[in-house]
Amino acid sequence: MASVPRLPAAHAPPRTSIPAALPFLCPSSSPRVAPPPATGPRRLVAVAAARAMPWPHVLTVAGSDSGAGAGIQADIKACAALGVYCSSVVTAVTAQNTVGVQGVHAVPEEFVGEQLRSVLSDMSVDVVKTGMLPSAGVVKVLCDSLRKFPVKALVVDPVMVSTSGDTLSGPSTLATYRDELFSMADIVTPNVKEASKLLGDVSLHTISDMRNAAESIYKLGPKHVLVKGGDMPDSPDAIDVFFDGKEFIELHGLRIRTHNTHGTGCTLASCIAAELAKGAKMLQAVQVAKKFVESALYHSKDLVIGNGPQGPFDHLFNLKSPLYKMGSRQKFNPDDLFLYAVTDSGMNKKWGRSIKDAVRAAIEGGATIVQLREKDSETREFLEAAKACVEICKSSGVPLLINDRIDIALACNADGVHVGQSDMPAWEVRELLGPGKIIGVSCKTVAQAEQAWKDGADYIGCGGVFPTTTKANNPTLGFDGLRTVCSASKLPVVAIGGINAGNADSVMELGLPNLKGVAVVSALFDRECVMTETRNLRSILMNACARS
């Protein structure tokens, strides 16, 4: 069921978050008046409730990296970047820098156990993430502690060899991993080198090899396996293989050309742990983690720290100046799909309005996302209009996408693109646009929706729900087709095709999973007053959501 997003910044009243457990609430059009501050017993109850609010908590059990690129330092930074508290149990102290590892001092097993008892007995840990476990004894101590103090999930990153080639765990530790720790793990995240060692130095050179390795490691006991292919130099993409015991899923990402890759494995596992602590499902957590690492590598690719062959990367790139951001927005919000306005050059000309005026009117009426679909405009004219629309949308906090034209999206620094099945696949679009941009894909079938997710799209447009004249040869799916795709989609969905003020409420009242909103063309732009039509449609959608 769709949730009602914020109004554009220029029109939005102050908003408070609504706990997920509460029934759906639509905000009223007028600002709410805050109640007077609580006093006496009421204030004590309020303070107690505030203190009881859970803070997602990850405990990292790993080694310390003096260079701060990997280990517990990377884990803490990654969790902080994703808004999760991270405590730490240090298993070893290393002397290392960008050149390599110069020394390792293991923390006594008894003291590792004391650290674990200290944190787990007091601090309500949600997820434990493991990194460097230097001895079989430390692995056993960890397993004993987790049996005594169970947590929601265990993420195991089997750190055995540093990227520089230094050995961090011996053969006896590998055996204990396999025999004791893996059976307790919710996910194990080896890279190809670690997967090879876990399986007796088998050769891993292809995606098929990675699948076989994932299946073999799964048989050792974990609920999920992620074999990471970032170290496979012959692959043009960074491809990871996820296996849940039933299905193999290939996760494609950009291969960022940089030497600042120290700590990628630690960071990925910590991000998975952080998302699990926040309540995400495993597949979703893995996808978020992969995108975070990809973005961090991209934004840090030209940084210089140290003189060695492998430098650290910046986990906190989102806190930096706009120079480090891919466009005007930092993160895609599925709620932005609520009222998706798609411009049309022919309709704008019919009513004597410019693209710029049409976009401004739609935003003033309450559109939450805008797509420029200008099939008939000349490239130079379209680019100039797109640049103007980017500024309008940026000032209002509304994302702007370009239909099909990736060249225009790059040239005007739009927030993303929307492509169809006959256009460039989403993974190729991502290679051109880089991380951080929004990518939507039109889909009519479950298979197309699944492929869009695998290719790294952010959302899908599903339709046509009703007959439409804005696109030739567009079969009508109806409610049944929309329901089938929405129920299977792992991505947020916006309904498209023939939607207008007379039928939009019936779409939203379906209450379909992942359906976040409707996309509209002629119902807004083939009208005399775009702002009035948009405002009316938004009101219809909000009322429909309230009823459902």
Please give the C-alpha separations between residue 335 and each of 74, 331, 514, in angstroms, as whole numbers: 31, 12, 10
Q: Is 306 a catalytic residue?
A: no
User: Which position among 130, 163, 229, 266 bears the catalytic label?
Assistant: 266
CA-nearest of 136, 126, 33 to 85 is 126
Structure tokens at 381: 């004219």
What's the rounded Cα separation, in Å, for the pair 366 and 546? 17
Q: What is the pLDDT of residues 328-361, one digit of tens each?
A: 344 688 989 999 999 998 898 899 999 999 999 9
pLDDT for the residue numbered 142: 97
Residues of the chain with pLDDT under 70: 1-53, 161-170, 233-236, 320-331, 470-473
User: Which position among 113, 263, 440, 517 bears the catalytic label?
Assistant: 263
User: Which position among 60, 130, 163, 264 bears the catalytic label?
Assistant: 264
User: Which position among 91, 261, 343, 534 bears the catalytic label?
Assistant: 261
Mapped onto helix, strand or coil, the DSSP state of residue 225 is strand
Q: Is 221 a catalytic residue?
A: no
Q: Is 393 a catalytic residue?
A: no
pLDDT for the residue numbered 169: 62
Q: Is 420 a catalytic residue?
A: no
Long-range residue pairs from 135-140, CB within 8 A, at least 24 positions apart, any chain = 135/106, 135/109, 135/169, 135/170, 135/172, 135/173, 136/172, 136/173, 136/175, 136/176, 137/109, 138/91, 138/106, 138/109, 138/112, 138/173, 139/173, 139/176, 139/177, 139/180, 139/181, 140/176, 140/180
| Cβ neighbours of 95 (radius 10 Å) | 14
Q: Is 230 a catalytic residue?
A: no
92 Cα distance to chain centroid = 32
State the residue for tokens 């007959």: 467
User: Which position among 113, 131, 265, 397 bears the catalytic label?
Assistant: 265
Q: Is 454 a catalytic residue?
A: no
pLDDT for the residue numbered 161: 61
pLDDT for the residue numbered 507: 95
User: Which position among 197, 228, 291, 516 bears the catalytic label?
Assistant: 228
CA-nearest of 413, 400, 423 to 340 is 400
pLDDT for the residue numbered 162: 55
Q: What is the pLDDT of residues 406-415, one digit of tens each?
A: 999 999 999 9
Query: What is the 8-class DSSP label of residue 27?
Result: P
pLDDT for the residue numbered 222: 97
pLDDT for the residue numbered 303: 86
Counting every residue written for the chain, the total comes to 548
pLDDT for the residue numbered 452: 92
Torsional sign, CA 142, 146, 149, 151: positive
